[in-house]
Structure 1
Amino acid sequence: MTRAAPRLARWLTGSLLLPLAACGGAADPTRNDSAAAGPTPTATTMPDRVPEHAALPAPIKTTPSPEAQSVLSCSAERGQAAAQRLVKICTSVSPATHPPCNAANSCAIIEDEIARSCGLLGDDAAKTSGCAVDPKSDAAAANVIRRYYSAINAHDYATAWIQWGNDGRPGQRFADFQKGFADTRATSVTIGKMPPSEGAAGSIYATVPVTVDAQLDDGRRQRFIGHYVVRRVNDVPGASAEQLRWHIDSATLKAAGVSG
């Protein structure tokens, strides 16, 4: 790739090549808890802070975009019928009084609420029609990466952020995380064949091979290949529902070409 490579390539192939430790614990500040309030709040409402254990460098891009991109609604992304089917599943499993099960939100945040709710159900999730995927399975681990890129594609950076855990991506401010995608128009991810997940030190790790395609605002297209490692705490006594959920632990991606 030349020195004139777009910012997204430098950001992905720079900071994301470093192993990232997962974190969590804080309450989720990103959810739109009103089922009738309209689109989810834009990512700029996220707290601008760094976890205490942060040690990674800031991303290359440091200047803000001219204006925040609006979040793409689930209805606009997948069509009204598909969005309403997703909303129906969400409302059937969510224990929240006002869950973010709203077609005006991104599909990613609705799917995240479904995953969260099915995780809370534990072993009963398999008996619930809305929980098509066992929340402890490798398929659920792969879905974290699908939601991550679905959220990025919808410009719902707040939902993408919490796929790293409730405190977001360690070592990076949320504002810088969002700026890293300022030149990105659209993204998609293809999941490769996953090896069996492995346990170590009280956690379970799943490796998710990916091919990521991105289109920049200037029309150029980029491709990245590599893998994510997704982690959850093993079924140990005292583990919280959030700790038992899969979340991104680290990422290794490299540029595989630019066209356009």
Structure 2
Amino acid sequence: MKKIAAAVSLSLVAGCSQPASQNVTANTPVDEAPANVAAPQEAPLNPPAPGEPGGLPDDRTPISEGPIDPKSGQGAAQVVQSYFALAESGRAAEANKLWSDGAETLDLGQYKEVHANIGAPGGMEGAAGSSYVDVPVQLYGRKLDGKEFNARGTMTLRRVNDVPGSTDEQRKWHITKIELP
């Protein structure tokens, strides 16, 4: 599979003050705002809450506050969290390193703004010296055209078990795929 370059452009609109009077001349077109006028702010995003349609499951399971075993399902969920934190901050190249070699990465270039809620990981499964875990995700934000989106799916992660000959890198969780509607 071919890796798709992911680029995330976060749009942060900072408030600024305007002078009391603006110098608009007869040469200023009516449909153009003067350069010192702030762009209109977009409405805040409000994704569905857990348990609502389109939201993550509402399992009401408390999160462990102690250290997390990097080999556990919770360790896999932390990789998903790191992926989206890097992607949201515009560090797509770093984020894509969390995917397995040859896996098709998530194309975030179609979004103006993207955020993720990460759900509790499912149970680990094993096959041929590897462990797999599914982590539910809810993506929300704005597409390039400014329209809001909300999608819920699952990311699958894989790590090689502690078998002779495996490398430290292979024994870390890597994203293998994402399934979105």
Normalised by the shorter chain, which TM-score bucket? 0.5 to 0.7
Summarize deviations over 1:2-21 as a string: whole Å, max 9, x none: xxxxxxxxxxxxxxxxxxxx
Taking structure 1 as reference, are residues 242 and 71 closer, same or farther at Cα in structure 2, changes over 3 Å only? farther
| Aligned counterpart for 1:170 among listed residues 87, 103, 109 | 103
| Residues 153, 185 of structure 1: 8 Å contact kept | no
Q: Distance in 2 between matches of 1:210 and 1:153?
A: 15
1:189 matched residue in structure 2: 116
Q: Cα distance, 1:186 vs. partner? A: 2.1
* Matched residue SS, 2:98: helix
Q: Cα distance, 1:71 vs. partner? A: 9.0
Q: Distance in 2 between matches of 1:164 and 1:142?
A: 13
* Matched residue SS, 1:241: coil
Correspondences of 1:48-127 after superposition (within 5 Å): 54=1
2:91 matched residue in structure 1: 156
Q: Cα distance, 1:181 vs. partner? A: 3.0
Q: Cα distance, 1:220 vs. partner? A: 1.5
Q: What code does the residue aligned with 1:235 have?
A: D
Q: What code does the residue aligned with 2:116 have?
A: V
Q: Cα distance, 1:205 vs. partner? A: 0.3
Q: Give RMSD over aligned pairs.
A: 3.0
User: Which structure carries more strand by proportion?
Assistant: 2
1:140 matched residue in structure 2: 75
Q: Does 2:161 correspond to 1:225? A: no
2:46 matched residue in structure 1: none
Q: Distance in 1 between matches of 2:155 and 2:9?
A: 27
Name the TM-score, length of structure 2 as normaliser: 0.59
**Structure 2 unaligned regions, length at least 5:** 12-65
| Residues 212, 224 of structure 1: 8 Å contact kept | yes
Aligned-residue identity in percent: 34
**Structure 1 unaligned regions, length at least 5:** 1-53, 62-67, 73-130, 255-260
Q: Does 2:156 correspond to 1:249? A: no
Q: Distance in 1 between matches of 2:139 and 2:8?
A: 21
Q: Cα distance, 1:132 vs. partner? A: 3.7
| Aligned counterpart for 1:236 among listed residues 142, 149, 163 | 163
Q: Distance in 1 between matches of 2:83 and 2:139?
A: 11
Higher Cα Rg: structure 1 or 2?
A: 2
Q: Cα distance, 1:154 vs. partner? A: 1.0
| Residues 71, 156 of structure 1: 8 Å contact kept | no
Summarize deviations over 1:50-104 as a string: whole Å, max 9, x none: xxxx4x6x87x9xxxxxx87899xxxxxxxxxxxxxxxxxxxxxxxxxxxxxxxx
2:29 matched residue in structure 1: none
| Aligned counterpart for 2:130 among listed residues 203, 208, 213 | 203
| Residues 9, 90 of structure 2: 8 Å contact kept | yes
User: Which structure carries more helix by proportion?
Assistant: 1
Q: Distance in 1 between matches of 2:164 and 2:149?
A: 44
Summarize deviations over 1:170-193 as a string: whole Å, max 9, x none: 357xxxx7xx43342322212223
| Residues 116, 139 of structure 2: 8 Å contact kept | yes
Name the TM-score, length of structure 1 as normaliser: 0.43
**Matched positions, count:** 126
Q: Cα distance, 1:218 vs. partner? A: 3.3
Q: Cα distance, 1:155 vs. partner? A: 1.3
Q: Distance in 2 between matches of 1:219 and 1:197?
A: 38
Q: Distance in 2 between matches of 1:138 and 1:170?
A: 20
